[in-house]
Chain A
Amino acid sequence: MTAALQAHGLGKKYGRRWALTDCNLEVPSGHVVGLVGPNGAGKSTLLNLSVGMLTPTSGSVEVLGEPAGTQQAKVGYVAQDTPTYSRLSVADHLKLGARLNPQWDESLAQQRIQRLRLDPKQRAGKLSGGQRAQLALTLGLAKRPELLILDEPVAALDPLARREFLQDLMEAVAEQELSVVLSSHLVSDVERSCDYLVVLVDSRVQVSGEIDSLLATHHRLTGPRRTAKELPSDQYVVTESHTDRQSTFLVRTERPILDPAWSVTQLTLEDLVLAYMGREVQPERPVLEVQR
C-alpha cells in the first residue's frame, strides 16, 4: 500500500526563515491523521507543500506515491480559513466543483447541501463561518479524492460548529474510505476525530504514529530521584522533571516497564502532545491551547 503522505528531508524557507526543517514523515493511507502543533510551527507549510501550493526549498514530498501537486484530481484540499467566493452562491460553488473536477459526485454534493440545510441561492459571503467551512468541505468531498487535506478547517469555528464539522467529516470518511490529513492547534479536535498523530513543533516533526500505539508506548514514570542516563537504553526520554527526592520521566518504549521502583501511569493524548510540545518551548512561544 502506498503511503498517503511521504516526506524526505523536506524543508521550506521564507526569505531567511525556515518554516519547515528536515521533515521526514511517512503516513500510511487509510488513516485520519491529525497534525498538531502550536501556531507558526509549520503545519500550514507542510500541508501547502503536500498539495503543491508551495514548492519545497529542500527535500521532497510525495502524495499517494507521486510528487506533490501532480495528482490534483485525487487530492482534495480545504484551505485555511476555508475560502469561498463571497459573491458566488452555494449553487454556483457546486457548479464550479462540477466543472473543474472530472470525478465530481453531484448527488453527494446535493445531498450534503440539503442535509446541511444550506440555501443554494444564498451567496457564500452571507454564510456563517461554520456553513462556509461545510461548503468548502462539500467541495472537497464531492471531488471524490483519495486523500483529503484540511488546513485548520475548524480554527475559526465555535465549539459547537467545530464538533458538528468534525462529526460530519468522520461520517463522510467512513462512507467514502478516504485518507484524511487535518491540522489543528487543538488536541481535542484531534482526539475526537483522528487515529493517527503527527506533532510538529518549531518547524520539526517531533513524533508521529497511530494514536493507539503512541498511547501504548508512552508512559509516565514516577519514582526516587535518578538521572535519565540510568534508565534502560530502550527507554527514550521525552521529558524529565526532578524534585529533591523524586524524578518524573515521560518515556517512550516498546517494552514493558520492569523496574519496580517506578510507579507507571498511562498518558492521555493531551499529556502526550503537551510533553512533545513542551520540550523546547521558550516562554515567548505560543503554547498549545487546550480546549474541551
Chain B
Amino acid sequence: MIWLTWRQFRVQFLVIAGVVLAAAVVLAATGPGLADDYRAFADNFIKNLGFARLNPVLYQVGLALLYAVPPIIGAFWGAPLIARELETGTHRLAWGQSISRWRWLATKVGIGGLGTIALTGALSLAVTWWSSPIDKAINAGQESNFYLPRMFPVTFSGRGLVPIGYAVFAFALGVAVGLAVRRTLVALAITLAAVILIQVLAPSLIRPHLMAPTDQNIVASADNLRGFMISGPGPDAQIKAIEVAINAVGGWKLTDETVDKSGKVATLPQWAIDCEPNGPNRQETSTKAEACFQRLAAEGYTQHVRYFSADKFWALQWREFGLFFLLALALTGFSFWRIRRDLS
C-alpha cells in the first residue's frame, strides 16, 4: 500500500518538495552571511541590511512561501487524496484488493501527513533560521519600518511551528472535505478558501485567546505617545483616541484604550486635544502638550494596554500549533469514521 500511495502521490510531492528545496538552498547559502553581518554591525545591523538588496526580497519570499504552502498542500494534496478516487471510482478497484479501507486510508493520510510535516517543517526551519538575526535585532530595539517584530501577526504566522500546524490542518481538512463532497474540484476550492480564511482570521480571532496577555495601565506622556487620532476640520477637531508605546520591545499590542480613574473605558475629554504633538508652533505646543499630559495624569486617565511580550513567542507558537494539530486530528477522525460508511 505504501508503494501504491507513493506511486500516486509522488508528482504532487516532488513539485512542492522541489520548491521547498530550492528555497532552502538559497536561504542556506545567504544565511551565514547575514549572521556574520549581524555580529559585525551589531547595533547598526538593520540599517546596513538595506545595502544588500537581496535581503529584503528573501525576507519576504520566505514569509510568502510559508503562507502559500498550507493552502496549497490542503488543496492539492489533501483534497484530491480521496475525492479523486471516489470521483473516478478507483476506490472500488483498491478496495477490491485484500486490504481494509482503514489501512488504505491510514497509509494515504499517513504518508501525506508526514510529507506535509516534513516539507513545511523544513521550510519553516530554513526561514526561521535565516531570519533569526533580523528578528533578534528588531527584538533588541533596532528601528525599522520594513522588518516587523516576529511577535506581530504577519510575521508570527510565518515562523516556527505555526505554519506546520496550519499545513497539517489544511491537509486533514482537504481529505475530510474531499470525502464529504466527493468532487475533486469542489473539495479543492472549498479547502483553498477555508485555509486562506483561517490564515487571515486566526491572528485576530484565535491567537489572542490562546494565552493570557499582559495587562498594563500606562500614563500617556509626550515621550510614549505613538498615535493621536482626531476627526473633524482644523480648529474644531474632535479627539478620538490616543495610543501609547508599550515598554516591551518586540511585543504585540492587542488593545490600547483610555480608561478613567475608576478603571472604566472612557473617551478622552475634549481638552485633551491640546496634547496633540507637532503643532504649527512647536515650542508653544510642546509646553501646552506638557500641561495637557500632566492634567490627564492628574485626573486619572491612563491607557490600558494588553499585549503579548516578545518572550512569549515560543509558548504562543506551541499553543497555536497544538490547536491546529488537534483540529487536524479531529478532522482525520471524521475521515476514518466516514470511510467506514457507504461510499459506492
Contact = CB atoms under 8 A, between A and B. Distances in A.
Given A92-B7, A99-B3, A99-B4, A51 B90 contact: no
Contacts of B90: 83-85
B228 interface: no
Contacts of B7: 88, 92, 96
Interface centre among A73, A84, A96, A143 (most CB of B within 10 A): A96
B342 A83 contact: no
A83 B87 CA distance: 11
B236 to A, nearest CB: 68
Contacts of A268: none
B1 interface: yes
Contact of A53 (B4, B95, B99): B95
B88 A86 contact: yes
Contact of B93 (A48, A54, A55, A139): A139
A79 B1 contact: no
Given A53-B95, A83-B93, A72 B100 contact: yes
A151 to B, nearest CB: 9
B4 A96 contact: yes
A96 B94 CA distance: 9
A33 to B, nearest CB: 18
Given A100-B1, A140-B96, A55 B89 contact: no
Interface in A45-82: 48, 51, 53-55, 72-73, 76-81
Contacts of A139: 93, 96-97
Contact of A143 (B89, B92, B97): B97
Given A83-B89, A85-B8, A85-B90, A96 B97 contact: yes
A53 B97 contact: no
Interface residues of A, number: 33
Most buried by A among B1, B93, B100: B93
Interface string B5-32: 0011000000000000000000000000
Given A54-B344, A55-B342, A83-B90, A76 B4 contact: no
A8 interface: no
B98 interface: yes
B98 A83 contact: no
A79 B89 contact: yes
Given A83-B92, A84-B93, A85-B8, A73 B342 contact: no
Contacts of B8: 85, 87-88
Contact of A95 (B3, B96, B98): B3
B3 A101 contact: no
A92 to B, nearest CB: 6
Contacts of A55: 341-342
B98 A99 contact: no
Given A99-B1, A99-B4, A143-B98, A53 B344 contact: yes
A249 to B, nearest CB: 40
Contacts of A101: 97-98
A38 interface: no
A285 B3 CA distance: 46
B89 A100 contact: no
Contacts of B95: 53, 77
B98 A102 contact: yes
A146 B198 CA distance: 51
Contacts of B1: 99-100
A48 B91 CA distance: 13
Interface in A89-104: 92, 95-97, 99-103
B344 A100 contact: no
A83 B88 CA distance: 7
B92 A97 contact: no
A95 B343 CA distance: 26
Nearest to B8: A85
Given A54-B342, A83-B89, A78 B96 contact: yes
Contact of A79 (B3, B96, B99, B100): B96
Given A78-B96, A86-B88, 13 more contacts: A53-B342, A72-B97, A77-B95, A77-B96, A79-B89, A79-B92, A79-B93, A84-B93, A87-B8, A96-B7, A96-B97, A100-B99, A103-B98
13 contacts: A53-B92, A53-B343, A79-B93, A79-B96, A83-B93, A88-B7, A92-B7, A96-B97, A97-B97, A100-B1, A100-B97, A101-B98, A139-B96
Interface of B: 1, 3-4, 7-8, 88-90, 92-100, 341-344
Q: List the 9 shortest-distance A-B pairs measured between CB atoms, nearest first.
A: A79-B92, A77-B96, A100-B97, A83-B89, A73-B98, A72-B98, A101-B98, A53-B344, A83-B90
